[in-house]
Amino acid sequence: MKSEVKQDELFRAVAQWLADFEKALRASDAASLAALFRPDAHWRDLLALTWRVSTVSGAGKIIEKLKLHGAGASGFEIDRQRTPPRRVTRAGAQVIEAIFRFETSRVRAHGVLRLTSRNENYAAWTLLTAIDEIKGFEESVGSRRPRGESYSRDFRGPNWLDRRKVSAAYEDREPTVLVVGGGHAGLCIAARLRQLNVDTLVIDREERIGDNWRTRYHALTLHNQVHVNHLPYLPFPANWPAYIPKDKLAGWFEYYAESMEIDFWTRTEFAGGGYDVEAQRWTVELRLADGKTRTVHPRHIVMATGVSGIPNLPDIPSLGNFTGRVVHSHGYGDATEWNQRSVLVIGTGNSGHDIAQDLYSNGAKVTLVQRSPTLIVNIEPSAQLPYALYSEGIPLEDCDLIAASMPLSLMRQTHRLLTEQARNLDKQLLDDLTRVGFKVDVEDETGWQFKYLQRGGGYYFNVGCSDLIVEGKIRLAQFSDIEEFVAKGARMRGGDLIPADLIVLATGYQGQEYLVRKLFGDGVADRVGPIWGIDEEAQELRNMWMRTGQPGLWFIAGSFAQCRIYSKYLALQLKAAQEVLPP
The 10s digit of each residue's pLDDT in 556-566 is 999 999 999 99
Burial 511-539 (b: 16+ CB within 10 A, else e): bbbebbbebbeeebbeebeebbbbeeeeb
pLDDT band at 4 (very low <50, low <70, confident <90, very high): very low
* Per-residue pLDDT, 6: 79
The 10s digit of each residue's pLDDT in 230-278 is 999 999 999 999 999 999 999 999 999 999 999 999 999 999 999 999 9
Q: With a cut of 90, say whether residue 10 has pLDDT above it.
A: yes
* Per-residue pLDDT, 1: 35
Q: With a cut of 80, say whether residue 450 has pLDDT above it.
A: yes
Phi/psi class of residue 305: alpha, beta or left (left: φ > 0; alpha: ψ in -120 to 50)?
alpha
| Residue 258, helix vs strand vs coil | helix
The whole-angstrom separation of Cα 392 and Cα 377 is 22
Angle between helices 560-578 and 184-195 in degrees, nearest 10: 40
Q: How many CB atoms lie within 10 A of CB 119?
A: 7
Q: Mean pLDDT, the chain, as a whole number?
A: 93
The whole-angstrom separation of Cα 368 and Cα 353 is 8
Q: Which amino acid is at 92?
A: G
Q: Which whole number is the average pLDDT over 56-74?
A: 95
SS (H, E, C) 164-232: HHHHHHCCCCCCCEEEECCCHHHHHHHHHHHHCCCCEEEECCCCCCCHHHHCCCCCCECCCCHHHCCEC
Q: Which amino acid is at 412?
A: R
The answer to whether domain 162-309+564-578 and domain 312-509 are alike in fold is yes
Q: With a cut of 80, say whether residue 143 has pLDDT above it.
A: no
Domain 162-309+564-578: give its CATH superfamily: FAD/NAD(P)-binding domain (3.50.50.60)
Q: With a cut of 70, say whether residue 2 has pLDDT above it.
A: no
Whether 566 and 187 have beta carbons less than 8 Å apart is answered as no
% of the chain beyond a pLDDT of 70 = 97
Q: How many CB atoms lie within 10 A of CB 12?
A: 12
Chain length of the chain: 583
With 0-12 / 13-18 / 19 or more C-beta atoms within 10 angstroms meaning exposed / middle / buried, residue 229 is: buried
Whether 313 and 328 have beta carbons less than 8 Å apart is answered as yes
Whether 114 and 90 have beta carbons less than 8 Å apart is answered as yes
Whether 253 and 209 have beta carbons less than 8 Å apart is answered as yes
Whether 360 and 473 have beta carbons less than 8 Å apart is answered as yes
How do strand 475-478 and strand 365-370 relate by DSSP bridges? parallel
Q: Which whole number is the average pLDDT over 387-397?
A: 93
The residue extents of the domains of the chain are 2-134, 162-309+564-578, 312-509
The whole-angstrom separation of Cα 114 and Cα 85 is 9
The whole-angstrom separation of Cα 110 and Cα 130 is 5
* Per-residue pLDDT, 151: 55
The whole-angstrom separation of Cα 192 and Cα 304 is 14
The 10s digit of each residue's pLDDT in 507-564 is 988 888 889 999 999 999 999 999 999 998 889 999 999 999 999 999 999 999 999 9
Domain 312-509: give its CATH superfamily: FAD/NAD(P)-binding domain (3.50.50.60)
The whole-angstrom separation of Cα 378 and Cα 392 is 21
pLDDT band at 196 (very low <50, low <70, confident <90, very high): very high
Whether 544 and 304 have beta carbons less than 8 Å apart is answered as no
Taking each continuous run of H as one helix and of E as one strand, the counts in the chain are 16, 29
% of the chain beyond a pLDDT of 90 = 83
Domain 2-134: assigned CATH number: 3.10.450.50
Statement: the pTM of the whole predicted model exceeds 0.85: yes
* Per-residue pLDDT, 334: 81
- Mean pLDDT comparison of 142-151, 380-389, 506-515, highest-scoring range: 380-389
* Per-residue pLDDT, 5: 47
Whether 83 and 394 have beta carbons less than 8 Å apart is answered as yes
* Per-residue pLDDT, 456: 81
* Per-residue pLDDT, 148: 67
The whole-angstrom separation of Cα 203 and Cα 196 is 20
* Most distant pair of Cα atoms in the chain: their distance: 84
The 10s digit of each residue's pLDDT in 212-234 is 999 888 888 999 999 999 999 99
The 10s digit of each residue's pLDDT in 112-122 is 999 998 667 89
Angle between helices 427-435 and 408-425 in degrees, nearest 10: 70
* Per-residue pLDDT, 498: 97
* Per-residue pLDDT, 583: 66
